[in-house]
Amino acid sequence: MRPSAFLALLATGARAHVSLVPAGGHLANNRSALVVRIPHGVDGLTSSRFQINVPAGVRSVAPEDLRGWSSEIRMRALPLEEQYSSHGQPVTTGPETIIYTADTPDDTLPNPNLLDITISIYLGCVYNDPNVHTIWKGQHTLWWGVEVGHSLPNTIAVSQNTSWTGCGRTGNELWDPPTGKACPYLFFTSASTCIYPDDPAAVGMKWLGTIVPAPANPSAVATEQHVLEVVNEELLSYSETQRAQLKSLEARVDSSEKAIGKLDDDVDELQKGSAAPTDGTIDRAELNQLFALASASMAISTLLVGILVGACLLRVLAPGAYTRSLISVDAIEVDAFPARTATHPLPNDNGAGYPSKPASAPVVVVA
């Protein structure tokens, strides 16, 4: 692998989800920069393809150029209500996906590494897709699905995919979805710069057909979003850790069941006399020992199954208690955050403090 091909950092933990950094503090009708942080891959494979699904409402993206990788932006036709003017010219298309593909096997991402991709984004003012536009934790949220293709060593042909497309969380739901992998998200807020020539009285972004005004205190809202970002990361990491522990328990239960089966077979053989002493009698002490071992293994197996089933029932029937069981504190009581009507932007309307775009090379645009 070429060290200069991309920013690849050795993963220090069992990170298993994709994040946008920062996930909060973005503003409608403004430009900002974010990092797409992609975790380690699959044992025995390298990562050779990354696809980032751009949610509707994002007017443009400018991903950084990665040496050794080819990139393209695939576009979608904008519905009439999302079209806008730029430098006096109408804009009728917007980004749909960003795709990176390794040029050679030497450029692929090894399994133990993670990858940071910097993207400059320009958020629009109109959001009408409830599948990727939701109010979650009291914040207006955009959901960005990510798919990673993995290849066998010394190839770039994709043989397996990992998808983080469990999008569309709402209310106070956990980031970790009941099925699939958690989809990366972006918190943002309305802005007073969203105006409409055909409706001068409307000021603020259009969210599922409703005008949302800019918040009275943008700084406080941005701070709340960043706190939620930290809490969400910690809760998902704990959830992933427990899922790994449950998987380990399942493996132990399976191993115990196989051991019990083998003991049963041995007992059957003894009872049939195949392992009897030469005098034709069965060694009762050995038989009793085997029965005792089988009983102990069955008890251990039953206990492990009970723990596994109990954890799964707790997650399904009482997600709040399940979350608090993962950590020794009350998870900052995420459920205690007040419900909001989600009118949240950056400290100021011009997005000060955020670079307009990262240094990048041109990408291939496919209409």
The strand order across the sheet containing 126-127 reads 126-127, 205-207, 210-212
| 229 — pLDDT class (breaks 50, 70, 90) | very high
User: Residue 236: pLDDT above 80?
Assistant: yes
Q: What is the pLDDT of residue 324?
A: 58
More confident residue, 349 or 307: 307
- What is the four-CA torsion angle of 57, 77, 182, 69, rounded to 10 degrees? -110
Is residue 320 within 8 A of residue 333, CB to CB? The reply is: no
Q: What is the pLDDT of residue 68?
A: 96
Distance CA 67, CA 115 (A): 13
User: Residue 66: pLDDT above 80?
Assistant: yes
Q: Where are the domains of the chain?
A: 3-218+340-366, 244-335
Q: What percent of the chain has pLDDT over 70?
A: 72
User: Residue 226: pLDDT above 80?
Assistant: yes
The whole-number average pLDDT for the span 70-86 is: 96
- Phi and psi at residue 225, to the nearest 5°: -65, -40
User: Residue 6: pLDDT above 60?
Assistant: no
The whole-number average pLDDT for the span 132-139 is: 98
Is residue 59 within 8 A of residue 83, CB to CB? The reply is: no
The whole-number average pLDDT for the span 244-251 is: 79
> Taking the CB of residue 113, how many other CB atoms lie within 10 A of it?
19
Among residues 193, 194, 222, the alpha carbon closest in space to that of 206 is found at 194
Q: Which residues contact 250 (CB under 8 A, 6 or more apart)?
A: 308
Q: What is the pLDDT of residue 322?
A: 59
More confident residue, 294 or 178: 178
Taking only the tens place, the pLDDT of each residue in 271-288 is 776 544 555 555 666 667
Superfamily grouping for domain 3-218+340-366: Uncharacterised protein YcnI-like PF07987, DUF1775 (2.60.40.2230)
Q: What is the pLDDT of residue 112?
A: 86
Query: Which residue in this structure is represented by tokens 């775009």?
Result: 357
The whole-number average pLDDT for the span 348-361 is: 44
Q: What is the pLDDT of residue 8?
A: 36
Q: What is the pLDDT of residue 269?
A: 77
Mean pLDDT of the chain, nearest integer: 81
Taking only the tens place, the pLDDT of each residue in 287-339 is 677 677 767 767 776 776 677 667 666 665 666 665 555 554 444 444 444 44
